[in-house]
Structure 1
C-alpha cells in the first residue's frame, strides 16, 4: 500500500466529530435505555446488563471490519455503514422499551437483535475510524489526534446525556422514540458530512492481494510486539473497567453517599479523565514533554496508586476525601488511556504495512472484551467478598486487585512500546 499526504488538523477534528457521534448514540443505549428498563419497567437490572454485555461481546467482530477496510483501501464507507447500523440498532432498542409492556419475549428478541446491531455498528465504524487515523496522521500529531478525538467523544456523551435528559421529561414512549430517531438521524448526517472527501489525497491504496480474514489475523498475531500489545490492552482495560460498576455502590455503602452524590462522584471522575487526556495532548504535542511510552507507564502506575488510596479510604470512614481520590484516579485513567491510543496508532501506522485495520480491529476487540469482562468480574468479586467480609474491606480488595493489574500493564507497556520504537528505527535505517 502506498501513502499520500497526512491529515490536516481540520481533518483530525472532522474525524473527531465521528467519534462524538459514536459516543452520543452509545450513551443512549447504555445509560438512558438501561435506566428505563430498571426504573420505569421494573425489570431486573441484570437484563440491561446482559444486553450491554452483548454489545461488547459482538465487538469481537472488529478484526473482520479491519480486514475489510484494509482490503478495499478505503475507510470512510465502512465508517458511514457502521454508523447507520448503530443507529438502526439504537432505534430497535428504543422500540423494545414500550414493547416490553405488551410482549416480554417479543421485546427481548427485538432487544437482542438491536444490541447485536449496536455492537456491529460500533465495531465497523470505530475500527475503520481508528485505522484511518493511524494511516493518515503524522507521527508527531498522533498524541494530539488521540486527545482530540476522545475528548470529542466525551463531549458527545455529556451533551447527549444532558440534552436528552432534559427533553425526555415528562417521559412517554412516543417522546423516547422521537428523541432517539432525531439523535440517530443527526449522527448519520453529521458523520457523512464529516468524512466527505476526507480520504482524498490521504487514503492508502488497497494491496493487490486481498488476504483472507484468518490469514490476515494469523499474520498480525505472529508479530510479537502486536501480540504483546494486545495482552497489554486487555490487562489495562480490564483494570480500567473493573471499578465501573462498583464505585458508586462503594460510595453509598461505605461513605453514605446519596444517589445524587454518587452520581456527582462519577461526574467528578469523568472530569478527571478529561483533564488527564488534555494534559497528555498538550505535553506531548505542544510542549514536547515525554513520550507516549512514558505517559502510558505513568498513567498506569498513577492509576494503581490512586486505587490503593481509594481502597485505604474505606478504612478511614466517611470523613475520608473520597472525591479527591476519585478525581485523581480519573486523571491518571485519562492519561494512560489517551497515551495508549496514541501508541496504538503509532504501532499500527508505522509497522502494519497495509494491515492497519486488522491491527486496530484486534486491539479494539481486546478492549471490548475487557470492558465486558472487567465490569462483570469487578461486580462479581465485590459481591463474593461482601459475603465474607465487611463492605469497606470487600470493595477495597477489588480496588487492590485492579491496582495489581495496572502495575502488570505498566511493566508490559514499557517493554512492548519500547520494542516497537526500537524496531521502527532499525527498519527506517536510523
Structure 2
C-alpha cells in the first residue's frame, strides 16, 4: 500500500514537469514557428526573444537558498512553486499577446516596430525565465524532501519521464486546440487560433500545478527546526565551495563538455519546425505534432538506456554511442529534406529523439556520479547551470546560425540554410561524445575528497 501511495505521489508530482514540457511546446514550438515562418520575423531576433529565458538561470541557486529559509505557514517549497507557476502562466499569456502584436506589425511591413516589439518580447521572457527558476528549483528540492535515498532514483525517473510525456501530449493537445486554423491558409484564422490557445492553456496549466503540488509538502514543526539549525551550522560556505570546485580539473572539463553536449543536442530546437514548414510545406499544427514524434523517441531512449546500455557499456561509452547516433540521424533529416521525403524525415526525427534520450540518460548518470555527499547540491547546481545556459545559447545560436547561413543562400528559409545548422549540430555532437570519454570519475572523487578533508581539518583547528 505504501508503495502504491509512493507511485501515486510520483506521478502526481510529475504533473508539474509535464506542465513545463507543454509550455516548452507552446513557447519554443508554436510561438517560434509563427514568428519565423508565418510572420517573417528574423530568425535571430526570434531566437533571442525566446532564448533569453535561459540567461537568468544563475538565479536558481538564489531561489533554492531562499526556499530553504522560507517559513510561510510552515512551508518552504510550496510558496515558491505555486507563486512561480502563477507568474509564468501570466507571462505566457503576455508573451502570446506580444507575439500577436508583432504579427500585426509584420503584416504592415513595419520593420522598426517588429524589432522593438521583439526586444520587448525578450524582456518578457527574461521574467518568464525568473518565474521558471523560482518554481523549478524549489520543486527539485521538494523531491528530496518527500523521498528517501532508496525512493529517490525511482521518483526522479518517473518525474523526468513525465516531462517528456508533457511534451508529447502537449504537442498533440495544443495543435488540436488550434482547430480549424491549421487547415486554413488565412493568417487571420491562425491568429484567432493562437488567441484562443493563449487564453485557455495558462489556466489549464496552473490548475494542473495546483493539483500536483497542493498538500504534498510536509509542514515544518517546532520539533524539527532545531535539527535544521544544526545542519545549517555545518554547511560549507560559498567561498569554500568555490575552492573545492577548483580543486579538480575534471570539474571545469566536465562543465565545458556538458555545455557543448547540451548546446549541440538542442541546436535544432529553434529551427526544426520552421525547417519542416519550409521544406515539406507543413502547416502550423503538423509541425507542432513533430514535437510528439521527437518526444516519444526521447522518452523511449530515456526509459530503456538505464536497463540496456549503461549497465553494459558504462555511462561514458553510452554517451558516446548516443552522440554518434544523434549526429547520424540529424544528418539523415538533412538527407530527407534534400530528397523531399516527409516519411523519411519523420522516421529520422523519431530516431534522433531516441538517440537524444540515450545521450540524456547517460549524461544524467555522469552528473550524479560527479558529486560529493557533502556538496551534492552544489555540484548538481553547477551542472544544471551548464545545461541551462547551453540550452539558452542553443536556442539563440540556432536562429543566429540560420540567419548567418541565410546570408549566403539568399534566404533564411532556404533548404541550404537549414542544412548548415544541422551539419554544425552533428559536428558538435560528435566532438562532445568523444570528449566525454576523457571524464575520469575516480580522479574527480579523489580530488574532491582531498579538498573536503583539508577544509574540515582546518575548521577543527
TM range (shorter): 0.7 to 0.9
Give me the whole-angstrom Cα distance separating, in 2, the residues matched to 1:44 and 1:394: 13
Matched, 1:384 2:404: yes
Partner of 2:17: 19
Partner of 1:182: 203
The answer to whether the 8 Å contact 1:274/1:331 transfers is yes
The answer to whether the 8 Å contact 2:302/2:361 transfers is yes
The C-alpha deviation readout for 1:354-409, integer Å capped at 9, x for no partner, is x3333233222221221221232233323333443595555444333222222222
Give me the whole-angstrom Cα distance separating, in 1, the residues matched to 2:205 and 2:264: 32
The answer to whether the 8 Å contact 1:146/1:341 transfers is no
Matched, 1:374 2:394: yes
Seen in structure 2, the aligned counterparts of structure 1 residues 347 and 166 have a Cα distance that, compared at 3 Å, is: same
- Cα distance, 1:168 vs. partner? 6.3
Alignment of 1:229-378 (within 5 A): 229-254=254-279, 256-259=280-283, 262-283=287-308, 289-313=312-336, 318=341, 321-348=344-371, 351-353=372-374, 355-378=375-398
The answer to whether the 8 Å contact 2:47/2:395 transfers is no
Give me the whole-angstrom Cα distance separating, in 2, the residues matched to 1:229 and 1:51: 29
**Which segment drifts farther, 110-119 or 311-320?**
311-320
Matched, 1:208 2:233: yes
The C-alpha deviation readout for 1:95-120, integer Å capped at 9, x for no partner, is 46558769989988985664333212
The answer to whether the 8 Å contact 1:236/1:405 transfers is yes
- Specify the SS of the correspondent of 2:58: helix
Select which of 214, 218, 221 maps to 1:193: 214
The answer to whether the 8 Å contact 1:234/1:370 transfers is yes
Give me the whole-angstrom Cα distance separating, in 1, the residues matched to 2:249 and 2:321: 23
What is the TM-score when the length of structure 2 is the normalising length?
A: 0.70
Give me the whole-angstrom Cα distance separating, in 1, the residues matched to 2:13 and 2:53: 23
**Which segment drifts farther, 116-125 or 305-314?**
305-314
- Cα distance, 1:426 vs. partner? 9.0
Partner of 2:126: 116
Partner of 1:65: 63
Give me the whole-angstrom Cα distance separating, in 2, the residues matched to 1:318 and 1:173: 29
Select which of 249, 252, 266 maps to 1:227: 252
- Cα distance, 1:181 vs. partner? 5.1
The answer to whether the 8 Å contact 2:17/2:159 transfers is yes
Seen in structure 2, the aligned counterparts of structure 1 residues 290 and 169 have a Cα distance that, compared at 3 Å, is: same
Seen in structure 2, the aligned counterparts of structure 1 residues 334 and 152 have a Cα distance that, compared at 3 Å, is: same
Give me the whole-angstrom Cα distance separating, in 2, the residues matched to 1:17 and 1:176: 20
CA RMSD of aligned residues (A): 4.6
Select which of 51, 73, 81 maps to 2:49: 51
The answer to whether the 8 Å contact 2:77/2:217 transfers is no
Seen in structure 2, the aligned counterparts of structure 1 residues 216 and 13 have a Cα distance that, compared at 3 Å, is: farther
Structure with higher Rg: it is 2
Give me the whole-angstrom Cα distance separating, in 2, the residues matched to 1:31 and 1:93: 13
Seen in structure 2, the aligned counterparts of structure 1 residues 47 and 174 have a Cα distance that, compared at 3 Å, is: same
**Which segment drifts farther, 399-408 or 184-193?**
184-193
Alignment of 1:72-111 (within 5 A): 77-78=76-77, 80-95=79-94, 97-98=96-97
Give me the whole-angstrom Cα distance separating, in 2, the residues matched to 1:38 and 1:253: 10
- Specify the SS of the correspondent of 2:436: helix
Seen in structure 2, the aligned counterparts of structure 1 residues 147 and 295 have a Cα distance that, compared at 3 Å, is: farther
Give me the whole-angstrom Cα distance separating, in 2, the residues matched to 1:38 and 1:251: 12
Q: What residue ranges of structure 1 are gaps of 5+ in the alignment?
A: 1-6
Seen in structure 2, the aligned counterparts of structure 1 residues 404 and 337 have a Cα distance that, compared at 3 Å, is: same
- Cα distance, 1:275 vs. partner? 1.5
The C-alpha deviation readout for 1:164-186, integer Å capped at 9, x for no partner, is 55556694898567525522431
Q: What residue ranges of structure 2 are gaps of 5+ in the alignment?
A: 106-112, 181-191, 451-461
- Specify the SS of the correspondent of 1:196: coil
